[in-house]
Amino acid sequence: MSSRRLQLVWSIKPETQTVIKVAFASTDRTRVNQHFGAAEGFVIYEVTPDKATLVGVGEFAEEAMDGNEDKLTAKVDFLAGCAAVYVMAIGASAIKKLMAKGIQPIRVDEVDAVDDLLGQISSAMSEGGVAWIDRAIAAQTKAKIKTEDRFASMAAEGWEG
């Protein structure tokens, strides 16, 4: 019987890597090919300046594009926490619902491959200059600072039993 050792790494400092979540309206998970309201599938990736990781897949029943607002709510809720969603087309009411949740809708051509878009997002995270990515990174940085300040305040108060 071989002896294995498990190394546990403890740190009070959270990892500082910037990560943003991005969704793509896609039936095949390789290209953006869906209208938001009628989308049957979304893939969600966590993107950093040097990698992209698939973290979610959502499938929805086929919907007619008939102005049924209820179908939008489930999709918007599924995308909670995403900075953006790439779509082939999108209606005004869906744009309004997404923007209210802080999710930037982005229209692209059907030929746009998810892998290519992920590469562009990753590069823009390092280089800057893409407004929605810059806003997402700034919001994340602000949230981290707020959390750190909260923990610093708690530590300053001390522990009492």
Please state the pTM of the whole predicted model: 0.77
At residue 122, the pLDDT reads 93
At residue 141, the pLDDT reads 80
Q: Which residue ranges of the chain lie beneath pLDDT 70?
A: 1-16, 63-70, 144-161
Give per-residue pLDDT as tens, 122-136.
999 989 889 999 999
In eight-state DSSP terms, residue 15 is: P
20-154 CATH fold:
Nucleotidyltransferase; domain 5 (3.30.420)
At residue 71, the pLDDT reads 76
105-114 contact pairs (CB < 8 A, 24+): 105/36, 106/132, 108/32, 109/32, 110/31, 110/32, 110/33, 111/31, 112/31, 112/32, 112/86, 113/30, 113/31, 114/24, 114/26, 114/29, 114/30, 114/31, 114/32, 114/43, 114/45, 114/86
- What are the boundaries of each domain within the chain? 20-154
